[in-house]
Amino acid sequence: MKTLSQTIGEENTQRRLFADAIKSNIRAAMPGIITAFDAASCTATVQPAIREVLADENGNAVHITLPELLDVPVIMPHAGIYSITLPVTAGDECLVVFADMCIDAWWQSGGVQNQMEQRRHDLSDAFAILGPWSQSNKPVSYSTEGLVISNGSGCAVTLKSDKIELHGPVIVKNDMEIKGDVYMHGSIIDVDDPEEVLP
């Protein structure tokens, strides 16, 4: 016959196992690594970067790699008709967050939709937010003096718009190539001799 302490201990163990089972099936957020990107649908395939810890049949902890997440909507800054898009590539790190409810109908049609399935914080309902850096991938140098748009490969940064307006002085610290006409509203002044106005 079991003692009272044995019975209580077994009940506590069962409660803990039950709570662990519930928690292991509820997702909130975790880092991920993008393995593929589809620019047409603005979705990615994402590998969760943290392994799940489960107990085997003997109660031993086993680390399990979670499956890749498919058709994950990628979050980039946009509002109204304006957007900032980035050349997402395999290997990029991201933060994966899991929606409170099934997002399938919303993802397909937008607007306010009914749930196709009733599920909570499921691996199927992920969003990928670009931007987090692990220490092995953080920027080599980080400027704390202003906004910097850069890339590590030395390639050009392209701005696309019908019209780009810059308000304030513009300083170019290298060669400049202009492919098109130049319209001036003002004078060209020699910085070495400000009183001299160039023709």
Element (H, E) at 18: helix 4-24
103: helix, coil or strand? coil
Which segment of 29-43, 115-129, 155-169 scores lowest on mean pLDDT?
155-169
pTM of the shown model: 0.74
Q: List the one residue out of 78, 120, 86 whose CA is nearest residue 103.
A: 120
Q: Residue 8: its pLDDT value, please? A: 63
Which stretch of DSSP H or E encloses residue 15? helix 4-24
Residue labelled with tokens 């509820």: 26
CATH number of the domain where residue 118 is located: 2.40.50.230
Residues 50/93, Cβ–Cβ less than 8 Å:
no
Degrees, nearest 5: CA angle 151-126-100: 135
The count of domains in the chain is 1
Q: What's the rounded Cα separation, in Å, for the pair 118 and 115?
A: 6
Q: Identify the three-state secondary structure at position 152.
A: coil
In this structure, the dihedral spanned by the alpha carbons of residues 51, 54, 57 and 60, taken in order and rounded to 10 degrees, is: 80
Percent pLDDT > 90 in the chain is 42
- pLDDT in the model for residue 157: 80
Domain region containing 27: 4-198
C-alpha to C-alpha distance for 13 and 160, rounded to whole angstroms: 60
Express each pLDDT in 132-188 by its tens digit: 999 998 888 788 888 888 776 667 788 888 888 889 888 888 898 989 998 888 888
pLDDT tens for 50-83 read 998 877 778 788 999 999 999 999 999 999 998 9
